[in-house]
Amino acid sequence: MPPNTTATTGDKPGKSGRKKGRKARLVVLVLVLAIIGGIAYGAYWSISTVRASFPQTKGSITLDGLSGPVDVKRDGNGIPQIYASSDEDLFMAQGYVQAQDRFYEMDVRRHMTSGRLSEMFGKDQVKDDEFLRTLGWDRVAKKEYDTKLSASTKKYLQAYAKGVNAYLQGKDGKDISLEYAALGFVNDYKPAQWTPVDSVSWLKAMAWDLRGNMQDEIDRALMTSRLGPKQIADLYPDYPYSRNKAIVQEGQYNALAKTFEQNGSSSTSGTSGASSTSGTSGTSGSGATGTSSSASAGSALTSQLSGLYKVLDNVPTAVGVNGQGIGSNSWVVAGDHTITGKPLLANDPHLSASLPSVWYQMGLHCRTVSSKCQYDVTGYTFAGMPGVVIGHNQDIAWGMTNSGVDVTDLYLEKVSGDGYLYDGTVRPFKTREETIKVAGGKSKTIVVRQTADGMPLLSDRDDELVTVGKKATVNTAAPDRGDGYGIALRWTALDPGTSMDAVFAMDRASNWSDFRSAAALFDVPSQNLVYADKNNIGYTLPGKIPTRAKKDDGSIPAPGWDSSYKWTGYIPQDALPYEYNPQRGYIVTANQAVIDKDKYPYTLTTDWGYGTRSQRITDLIESKIRGGGKISTDDMRQMQLDNSSEIAKLLVPKLLKIDIRDKDVRGAKAVREAQDLLEGWDYTQDADSAAAAYFNSVWRNILKLAFGNKLPKELRVEGQCLWVDPVNSTGPADETNKVRECGERAADQAQPDGGDRWFEVVRNLMDDQKSDWWSTPKSLTRPGASDNRDDLFKRAMIDARWELTAKLGKDIDTWSWGRLHRLFLKNQTLGTDGPAFVKYILNRGPWKLSGGEATVNATGWNAAGGYGVVWVPSMRMVVNLDDLDKSKWINLTGASGHAYSAHYTDQTSKWVKGELLDWNFSDKAVDENTSDTLVLKP
């Protein structure tokens, strides 16, 4: 053992954990050893190698730096509750314990945030590192640490790092995690010491995945190569405020918003992406592709943004799906409507499925809360970061969903030599060199260029972006193209902030006022925060949210050479929407509009989620209230599991009226048999539902026929090819003049993804039987063509029948949604790109899931790419403010990041079934449910 870390008594995991996982581990290890015996690696992995990194959970360990003993109590699921007598001891122990369970995950995360993945995984990661170095997350995090964070936050970060490093000291890679043993086959990588900045950087990665409408901004511009302004507007409809209610509906907005409401002004209020996209044709509107001093939306801009998308798509995800499809549910119900008479709060963030889960459950408890030791908090945090991000303390509870506010803008830059054009003057770029070390290869040096206000030139990271600018089509108002146009990024997270201060302030908050003050520090990423204490409920929107000139709403790329398109400031914190104890008695946030655009003077975004989930949750709450019932903790859980398909309610009545006749449909009997599944279906997408399987296949094929086949290749699924008119063709379509064009986007990122934006698109077109969207040329369907809605629906029903026959078999009695809609959990490094036998060791699944796209139980799938699960409720929790020990929680996987630990995926089967675990908080409840106790001694 290292000199400052001494095991005095106890063993590795407790007996309960060993019994639970021993049989499975031995069976798998026999298989693993047999496989490895025939692999060129020639290594012999014994049981001791696999078990070497399992944490000690009993007895005692001596750690230098502690001022007093710390107790680490783990329950039967390995979830730790830490008890200490000072803040520094508490967070030092947190660092030690998280490193015990998840250090490999922590190490990968810090290499991602600092653009150093190549040091671990070799030359294949160089492109990712180049882009991440250009963004400079770790550089911004260091500035935050040096100049923005409070002295107490720095003290906690230092204590946390000290705990991590105490765990690392004296350990070889194989003693830390099985993955390091695998890496040892190909390089000699050894983990370095943890630093406070490593923890701060993680918030930048989180912010990147929750960055708002940047993807929509790119997609709208890409669409201009094939679609006109009216068509693009059809695909980005207005938010349905009258049908799907905004979060803030009554009570307090702010003084400025009240004045605005009284005056009836709406000159700068948020609009949907549809209205602003008129600028993409050069007819009106704003942005880089309008007529006002900007480049036209020609093939060059499309190529530039396509190249940018490829770069973005390769950036590893932190918590989401590269900005696409990320949602979440949270809601809070006042005591007037609950069984206990006290509030209930629910939260289930929807994020990418990963193994281990992005969340880490734990409790942080001061034995006596005082000025010396201020915390008694429990909930979910990230491995590698001190504190608790979502959860409750002894007084309050809170949850988060992504607000989706627009905090990123792309700018076209007129590059001229070593500078860029700005209001007629060439300004020099700020430059820095970055050296990327590569495991097993030569280092690479890159030059990062930034504008004066800190915008990195993303186009420097892709050769295609450099060359296509030379061919840019421009109008007379734009500057001469010269060497081409670059693409720069303006993003709030590239400025130092105070979000780490906010985490600790929320953990300490004891009332609404404290919580609002803490939330104001949470500048990036901007999140919807719901709140409850024993007597009150609330909502607040924090964040650093930019304001823009009237001509620019941030919906499409803007011309960087014109200062009138720059950000004009930030919305004042006291002008951001909030709500406290609304009369209706509940608050729902599920990525819908924060506030009605006619009641607020600022543009928050042009790209809200469309409110399908939020309105369904609202309807479930209202139905309970209207029926005179009171809501229980289990009612909240059941709401989280709601599988109802809102698009099915709209479409199925129409589909049942479609006449499938023998004379015009091959295999009509089989198609009618599938159609009959929809008769009497309750629109619930349970895993065993054949009707849900067939409907979702019909929905997928409707989207493909009506929209997907008409989108540019940059948005379609990679490798899916069509015969289409050339981009620059004019005149009527000519079946003899087609070109073969193949999609370029990853299957889980392609369009149409089938989310609730597409619900709204189809809803708006339903009454127009002759819309051009329902028209499908003969070349894009088999056989025949459609020129009206019902013909296209019929074609989709036929195609769906034969698609499912191929996937699930001829006998529809064997069909089920879960056979299509499956979850695979993959280790996010070696589990996706490692050798096959390593993937076998590290990955788990599949599980057949209920739920679906834009349902409350949002097990998301991408309709363009297939039926597999893309994102999930990454955890679920329900907090009972009457008795905190009656609160419930669950994680997607388990506490441990060690393959074959009993706690690697021990919560997953319960998560799949919709079960929740008891969430122990009081000393008594924790003690009664403690399986293992480890004492950390000074």
**Vertex 82, ends 166 and 175: CA angle to 5°?**
35
As to burial, measured by CB atoms within 10 angstroms (0-12 exposed, 13-18 middle, 19+ buried), residue 520 is: middle
Residue 722's nearest CA partner among 700, 702, 740 is 740
Tell me the torsion sign for CA atoms 672, 675, 680, 686: positive
Tell me the torsion sign for CA atoms 849, 850, 853, 855: negative
Residue 332's nearest CA partner among 583, 620, 530, 590 is 530
- 33-47, 264-278, 444-458, 726-740: which has the minimum mean pLDDT? 264-278
Tokens of 331: 């809601």
Tokens of 467: 């060359």
CA distance 713 to 722: 9
CA distance 778 to 276: 33
Centroid of chain to Cα 358: 10
Centroid of chain to Cα 134: 22
- 619-633, 750-764, 778-792: which has the minimum mean pLDDT? 778-792
SS3 label, residue 867: coil
Backbone angles phi, psi at 428, to 5 degrees: -75, 145
Amino acid at 208: W
CA distance 699 to 678: 13
Q: In this model, does residue 525 exceed pLDDT 70? A: yes
289 confidence band (pLDDT: 50, 70, 90): very low
Q: Which residue has the higher pLDDT, 693 or 562?
A: 693
Q: List pLDDT tens digits, range 388-398.
A: 999 999 999 99
- The Cα-based distances of 598 to 263, 407, 512, 541 in angstroms read 11, 21, 27, 18
CA distance 713 to 280: 18
Overall size of the chain counted in residues: 938
Q: Name the packing angle between helices 126-135 and 87-113 (round to 10°).
A: 120
CA distance 72 to 84: 9
Q: In this model, does residue 472 exceed pLDDT 50? A: no
- 121-130, 358-367, 702-711: which has the minimum mean pLDDT? 121-130
Mean per-residue pLDDT, 174-196: 88
Residue 839: the pLDDT is 86
Q: List pLDDT tens digits, range 399-443.
A: 999 998 989 888 888 888 789 999 999 999 999 999 999 998 999
CA distance 76 to 902: 10
End-to-end distance of the chain based on CA atoms, in angstroms? 16
550 confidence band (pLDDT: 50, 70, 90): low
Q: Which residue has the higher pLDDT, 59 or 280?
A: 59
Residues of the chain with pLDDT > 90: what percent? Answer: 65
Quote the DSSP letter at residue 147.
I
**Cis? peptide before 356, omega within 30° of 0:** yes
Mean per-residue pLDDT, 736-755: 88
Sequence-ordered list of residues with C-beta below 8 angstroms from that of 602, at least 6 positions apart, any chain: 268, 269, 270, 545, 547, 571, 575
* Gyration radius from the chain CA atoms: 28
